[in-house]
Amino acid sequence: MTEIRTEEIMIAAIAQMLSGLSHVAVGAASPIPGSAALLARELSGGRMRVSLLGRITQPTFTDGGRELFDCAAQGRIDAFFLSGVQIDGQANINLVYIGDPDSPKARFPGSFGSAYLYFLVPRVILFRQEHTPRTLVEKVDFVSAPGSSDENVYRPGGPHGLVTGRCVFGFDKDLGRFRIESVHPGHTLDEIREQTGFEFDVPSTGVEETPQPEKAWLQLIRGPVGDEIREVYPGFAKKMFDSA
């Protein structure tokens, strides 16, 4: 058994957040959440439905993003995943630009349907492998999708947590803040504080270590999950599983 990768710890952590759900959808540029959803389906004995955008063989969505949006509006998706070039302490995400809007340092593809899905899907899990003050900021430069809304706004959806390459955060919707839930092996709480641009809450009982995936889970991740995710993310699968 080769060394457990950070990506595999993230996959297992996200899969645990999906336990007991019926339908999980995965959008574009999401190989880690996609693998986590497939792992959760395997652990459910196939009872969970996973809709993986971009899949060619046996596609769940026959009309791409439009069908994804329709399913979300009808309340037929239990969980979805979002990321951003910046994520702040209120779970706002930025997918548009960094810096001065009149002369930005960088521009990115844009928000697409992120705000729409953030408002509609009950359990939105944020993810970002890079965990630095550059990506986890005090306040995003542009709000592509807000983490919370005013009380008079109908919003069945919203953030459930954030999984990074260093730790797992939960999100307290009442307080509108993240709380740290576990720190990945090899990292410390002091390191997380230093590498996070926003303040977060810490449980009074202390912070646990993120569990490493057990042998049976690793066999699933490196076996059927890796084989299935390869169709949509061949580069990720080659890097992750060909040497595993």
Q: Distances in Å between the alpha carbon of 185 and those of 4, 70, 83, 210?
A: 10, 40, 23, 7
pLDDT in tens, the chain (244 residues): 579 999 999 999 999 999 999 999 999 999 999 999 999 999 999 999 999 988 877 767 777 688 899 999 999 999 999 999 999 999 999 999 999 999 999 999 999 999 999 999 999 999 999 999 999 999 999 999 999 999 999 999 999 999 999 999 999 999 999 999 999 999 999 999 999 999 999 999 999 999 999 999 999 999 999 999 999 999 999 999 986 5
Nearest CA to 14 out of 182, 226, 145 is that of 182
Q: Domains in the chain, ordered, with CATH?
A: 6-241 (3.40.1080.10)
pTM summary value = 0.96
Beta bridge partners of 201: 179
